[in-house]
Structure 1
Amino acid sequence: MGVRRGAGGFLAMVERRAGGARPASVLRILQVFYLIVRRSGQKRLERGKGAAIVGRMMLFAASPEEVSLILPIGLLVAGLVLIGVEFFLPTVVLGFLGAVVSFAGIYLSAEAGGLTCAVFCVVFLVVLTLEFFAFRRLLPQTAIGRSMINVSSNEGAAVPAAAGYAVYVGKTGKAATVLAPSGTIEIDGTLIEAFSLDGFVERNAAVVVTEAGSGRVTVRRSR
């Protein structure tokens, strides 16, 4: 509507200057020319406004307030270290404290954005999984692990149950500990869990294996 009014005013001005005459061909050409110029100017103005808005948005995005990740990273690392120590030195306290510290680091990382928080969560889960598998692999090789699974570090450790104790039936050994009535006997330098049919048997007393069971043997005093 504004374009048409502008064109009408422009044509009226041309008509007045021409003394009231309106050559149709000339006026039509001038009308088309005016419309083209006017619309082109409006488009440039709109593009200029849009560019200004986009420019301001890009300037704002290019200079956001930086969020320091030093504290969240430090808390996450400290928490994972405490959890790792908890795996090998069970205290409950260290594990709980490590979990709290790790979650605090993840919570603070959310201030840097959702993507950063997601990365922290993934790192926490991956490292926790690696610590668990390292714990399972290394624990049996430590003194604490051997004591937890009741495996002696002695070369004369008990024969695994899978090997069976049938080979010891009829053999004579001695009580490595007091049998009351259960305890440990030694046969050919090997320690074996045993159960005494004679009840109490003092240490170093001679015994003979009468029966092999699952995980232990049955013995009597040697006559």
Structure 2
Amino acid sequence: MIDPRKAALIIIDMQHGFLDADSALCVAGAAATVPTCARALSHARELGMPVIHAVRAYAADGSDVEACRHELWLTGGRPVSRACDEGRSLAEPEALKPQPGDRVVVKPRFSAFFGTGLDVMLRRLGVSTVVLIGTTTPNCIRTTCYDALSLDYNVAVIEDCTSSRTPAVQAANTEDMAHIGAQMLTCDAFCRRGLESVRDVVAEVAAAVREARP
């Protein structure tokens, strides 16, 4: 069981530029997860978990947009930047907006750890477990998951608070993350039992290594 005060909920890229159907960067399944994400956020705050919003904010000139995405971004109205004609493209929906005490990290790439101070922030907060929600599962959720595992965090993913462009993509990526070591939850289970079912694998391994010393 994980102490919620030593775990952080990280909500990734739940901005209108990825949610709205008319956005060039829309993730087909993302808007449907707003209610479950809102429930997870509310319960995490009740448990005393730090909440971190990992978001995008592209430069108006596109100088920091991924090369693989630049053409779509440019021809699609420059979403998730201040240059976008749709004024709310950068914002999260009202139900998901940061509340007092939440933290915001602007990430330049898919992973919430890449090019950000997230790891230092979590260490200083005493966090050893990250719980991931948001979009998209094969890109930003998965890369954040793998970076967190590489940095020796316990990782839990609330499956129905994440989304992909198709159900098949969603299923394949959640299966892969579970196979590599992420622990999967549902929003209902998280809201009923918190992190009771999540193993502290990092602490277990550290204890085993200490016991194995000559």
TM over 0.5: no
Normalised by the size of structure 2, how large is the TM-score? 0.22
The structure showing larger relative contact order (alpha-carbon pairs under 8 Å, at least 6 residues apart) is: 2
Greater helix content: 1
The structure number with the bigger radius of gyration is 1
